[in-house]
């Protein structure tokens, strides 16, 4: 009988946790933290890809961070319009809950 991967992982990890003295609740918490981390990494990739595809922002040094669906943009963009465009692009990405736009406009 073949088990689903997450269920198999939890079962094996629970057995390991008992041997190692770690509680099952702690193991489940760690499993869900890993799931959230993976979602955030996918979200960062989605937002970065969309920013790179935009001609006005593509070359700008924009950093993207994510935590539980909240995006933080930092770095510099060439114009105020580019700053607004970057925020709009990030807001439209699937899975984004909020955007904190800390981008700086490059001085001329």
Residues 6 or more apart whose CB falls under 8 angstroms from that of 74 comprise 62, 63, 65, 102, 103
Does the model's pTM come out above 0.75?
no
22 vs 44: CA distance, rounded Å: 32
Residues 6 or more apart whose CB falls under 8 angstroms from that of 26 comprise 17
Q: Which residue has the higher pLDDT, 27 or 11?
A: 27
Sequence length of the chain is 108
Q: Are 45 and 57 in contact (CB under 8 A)?
A: no
Structure confidence by residue, pLDDT tens digits, 28-84: 677 667 778 888 899 999 999 999 888 878 788 899 999 988 999 999 998 888 899
6 vs 64: CA distance, rounded Å: 29
- Amino acid 21: pLDDT: 59
Average pLDDT over residues 7-29: 62
């Amino acid at each position: 009988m073949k088990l689903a991967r997450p269920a198999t992982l939890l079962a094996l990890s629970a057995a390991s946790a008992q041997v190692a003295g770690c509680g099952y609740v702690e193991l489940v918490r760690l499993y869900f933290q890993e799931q959230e981390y993976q979602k955030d990494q996918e979200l960062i990739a989605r937002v970065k890809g969309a920013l790179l595809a935009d001609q006005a922002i593509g070359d700008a040094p924009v950093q993207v961070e994510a935590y539980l669906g909240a995006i933080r943009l930092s770095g510099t963009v060439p114009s105020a319009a580019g700053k607004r465009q970057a925020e709009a692009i990030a807001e439209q990405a699937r899975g984004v809950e909020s955007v904190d736009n800390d981008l700086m406009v490059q001085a001329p």
